[in-house]
Chain A
Amino acid sequence: SMLCTVSAPKTSIPPFPKSPSFRRTHLTPTRLRVSASLPGSDGAKVEYTPWLVVGLGNPGNKYHGTRHNVGFEMIDRISQETGIPMNTIQSKALIGIGSIGEVPVLLAKPQAYMNFSGEAVGPLAAYYQVPLRHILLVYDEMSLPNGVLRIQPKGGHGFHNGVKSVMQHLDGCREFPRFCIGVGNPPEDAMIIFVDAALEQGVDAVRTLVINGFDSRITRFNLGQKYKYHKV
């Protein structure tokens, strides 16, 4: 009877048609869940291997807030929003460990200059046993217009020295996801406004990515970002 009332309100939320897999987990009687206490019992949807979110930038106050340091800005924002304090220095980077949802997340800001960021990222990823597909690189991308974000499961370096160095130190592999923050080329003065707005949207996107992986939500996010200045 109590459990009946539990199930009733669930069905009262029809306007969210979800993908069938979610509906399945939704409607399975939760009585099962109560007793199940195995870790990773529904690991089908979530991968609990840790994520390493690295923001590229140049250390020091001199470079604080410059165009190419948007990676650092994004990591700062993520750490604020998720409550992961960045308080450890390891392997030439400032890191913070926490989790988003069930998924452990490492935020890192390499303190090596941009061209040598790989020296910080490689050993870090190796030490914490982060698989290649869970290393998210956040960096500034000049080919995107100001404030446009894009999340890709893999890609090239786009002549970004930081990304090149990271690729080199990750054993020459390019198959790690990237979070590109658009800064236009040539640089504009009004960049800061666009980028600030974009940072907020970005934090949410990172959360979705970490929890759900690459799916249609990310595609929709990318599309929305691509056309966000073409709205009236």
Chain B
Amino acid sequence: MALKTLIQFPIFAPPDPHPRHSATEIRFSRWNNANAEKFTRRERTQKQIEDQLRFHKRFDSANRIANIHENATATTTTFKSTGTPSTPSNPSIPGKSSKYSKNPRNGNPHPAFQRILKSQKVPNDDVAAETGVKIGENGVSYLVPEAPFEFQYSYTETPKAKPLRLREPPVAPFGPSTMPRPWTGRKPLPPSKKELPPFDSFQLPPPHKKGVKPVQAPGPFLPGSGPKYVRSREELLGEPLSKEEVDELVKGTKKSKRQLNMGRDGLTHNMLDNIHALWKRRRVCKIKCKGVCTVDMENVREQLEEKTGGKIIYSQGGVVYLFRGRNYNYRTRPHYPLMLWRPITPVYPRLIQQIPEGLTLDEASEMRKKGRKLTPICKLGKNGVYCDLVKNVREAFEACELVRVNCQGMNGSDYRKIGAKLKELVPCVLISFEHEHILMWRGLDWKSSLPEPIEDPEDVTIDELDDAVNVTPPLEGQALSVSCPASLNTSMSRLGSEDLGVEGGKDLIEERGRDLLSDTGCVGEDPDALTKSLESTKIFDSTYSDDDDTGTLSVRCEQLRGSSDDTKIHTEPTSVVSHVSKSSSVCSPSTDGVLLLWKQAVEGGHAVVLDDYCLDSDTVYEKAVALAQTAPSGPVFRHRPKKVAAKRSEIQETGESQAKEIVNVSERKSDRSSSRIHSKRGFSEGYLNVVPRRSLGVDELAKLLA
């Protein structure tokens, strides 16, 4: 406001030489001077007003952050009970909120931010059609005319249940389409006359043009094709990407710092717009998911592909890389109205019922009591990646019908959401959420997903008893001792010690015992085999006499032993693992081979047989040391494939006798074709004073030559 200051002589008032104004004009003067300027209200432009508004907002928030500790000390005089800390702690980084520095809740919140929740009934369908809000089986969704699909606040986190009540009047959260700018209190301006060309992905701005953010070229294109203007979804994607293209894209995206984060709300509606904004500049959108949405990554990936029209080229853990499509054009992308606020979640049916289905009240409280002492299978961190949670819970259900998951430290609504998801994915029944743990029950109709339908690990013994029999057929008229009393005893004792599956186990063994007995009289056998089997059983009697036997078990074992001869005739499921002691070592040819080797080792001085009374660990150690000093060195274990061995031998060339080594290499190659170091070779290697033969290993050769 430039006002001329006129120096006035207070004595005379000179007459106005230039009468420029009419008498009715309003004039304002600072010092009551007659020649004041015409008052013009300074009219600001729209841009200036908006800029000022934005500037003030920023300035105010910066001011608030800078003065936060000053504000914090100036507390209002609200009531605080004894023991309440007087102020929340100051954050070390001013303005950064943490759980220690939040203002007390009763800090006079502004009435504008106070939600007045009036619960409302769910409207029926005709009302819904008017307002555009649809309440259905899939939660709340918004019907906007000419939209390709129903809009929801979150496409992955909306519970698939019909809400019981609404907490706010059903209004679609989309703003009117005529107001994309901040409210300034004025009429909308006429549309700008300047024609900006729409951003076309296929006509890139020239590189290094000033003021243009970098844009990545469309593609990648197969050789011989170029960008196409297409509209349909499949054509936008183009040909499926080849492996090299995928690798290249993934490598490039791994380095990029631009990413979208997905949190406890999952894939929100406005995120679709963000993805397109990212696709304007880059071909691949990097999305990192953390927290609740990672429990069901499958669904997240599916929804992403469906709603955005892109293709997922890489997804691991919580990370997803979305490729935009070969022929994607930012100009022809779908425009969705943005949601301007987050609609309040309606009231859904309770997750935990006091008396779940299939249980009585007593059983349910029993479970809750047991659950309080149960060790949780895992602890979930606040914003972690829970991809394996479903799998682990399913596995844990194989072991026990109740499973507990520790969710301490998480947001209350977060672990409830996780519980809801687990309820659907692992089909299970939620029992309680107390102490920030999720307690689940596997439900009445739960089927184990393991190949054999028997659930208990103890029953493994029964199965292996079965299968061991199938596996050990009588060969060469040998005697198989049927009952492995020791194994039966151990399995029985273990069954007895655990609660689950005991009854089943005993019944089954009884059945088998009966079967064996029934078969006793059926088949005749050779007298030799009989005597052999009786011998072997006698041996077992002596060996296992010190095992604990329950009365019934021993009886059963007797029965089984008595009918041991039958097993050599038929493979009954009842005959069990056979133990072959040294005396009855004629049982299998493979054991014979090993025993032969053993005998040779003893004879050759490699091994020493101890008497029983020397089984103290110290004496054993001393003897081992003594033997190691006197015994010839043993063979070296070789397992490498041929070419690698050839390489190693080349590296170890001493250079002196190359020819010899080459010969050795070839010999070793031929040896390896049999894939075993024969015992003969072991012996020949042992004698160092013998002239080295063709079959010496390269290491030995090197040692000799060195």
Using CB atoms and an 8 Å cutoff, list the residues of chain A in contact with chain B.
Answer: 2-3, 5-6, 9-10, 12-13, 15-19, 22, 25-26, 30, 33-34, 36-39, 41-42, 45-46, 48-50, 59-61, 64, 81-83, 85-95, 97-104, 106, 111-112, 122-129, 132, 169-173, 200-201, 203-205, 207-208, 211-212, 216-217, 219-221, 223-232
Contact = CB atoms under 8 A, between A and B. Distances in A.
21 contacts: A10-B515, A12-B515, A18-B466, A59-B621, A88-B609, A89-B620, A91-B607, A94-B620, A97-B591, A98-B591, A103-B588, A106-B594, A111-B624, A122-B636, A204-B491, A207-B464, A208-B464, A211-B464, A227-B399, A230-B374, A232-B373
Given A87-B610, A204-B491, A212-B464, 15 more contacts: A10-B572, A18-B467, A33-B570, A45-B471, A48-B589, A60-B618, A60-B621, A98-B579, A98-B582, A104-B588, A104-B595, A126-B677, A203-B490, A221-B460, A231-B374
Contacts of A217: 452, 460, 463-464
Given A49-B590, A90-B601, A227-B395, A232 B606 contact: no
B154 interface: no
Contacts of B491: 204
Most buried by B among A48, A81, A90, A211: A90
Contacts of B375: 229-230
A146 to B, nearest CB: 12
Contacts of B593: 50, 104
B609 to A, nearest CB: 5
A60 B620 CA distance: 8
A97 to B, nearest CB: 5
A225 B398 CA distance: 11
A81 B624 contact: no
A223 B475 CA distance: 35
A16 B633 contact: no
Contact of A224 (B457, B473, B587, B631): B457
B298 interface: no
A99 B573 contact: no
Contact of A232 (B402, B451, B494, B590): B402
Given A39-B588, A103-B590, A106-B594, A230 B473 contact: no
Contacts of B450: 216, 219-220, 223
B356 interface: no
Contact of B640 (A99, A127, A171, A203): A171
A48 B471 CA distance: 11
B578 interface: yes
A186 B46 CA distance: 69
A89 B623 contact: yes
Contacts, number: 312
A232 B615 CA distance: 41
B21 interface: no
Interface stretch (B2-10, B272-280, B321-329, B518-526): B518-526
B577 A100 contact: yes
A96 to B, nearest CB: 10
A101 B676 CA distance: 24
B460 A208 contact: yes
A204 B461 contact: yes
B624 to A, nearest CB: 4
Interface in B556-586: 569-573, 577-582, 585
B571 A89 contact: no
A212 B467 contact: yes
A2 B522 contact: yes
A127 B679 contact: yes
Nearest to B579: A83
Contact of B463 (A16, A227, A229): A16
Contacts of A172: 640
Contacts of A46: 471-472
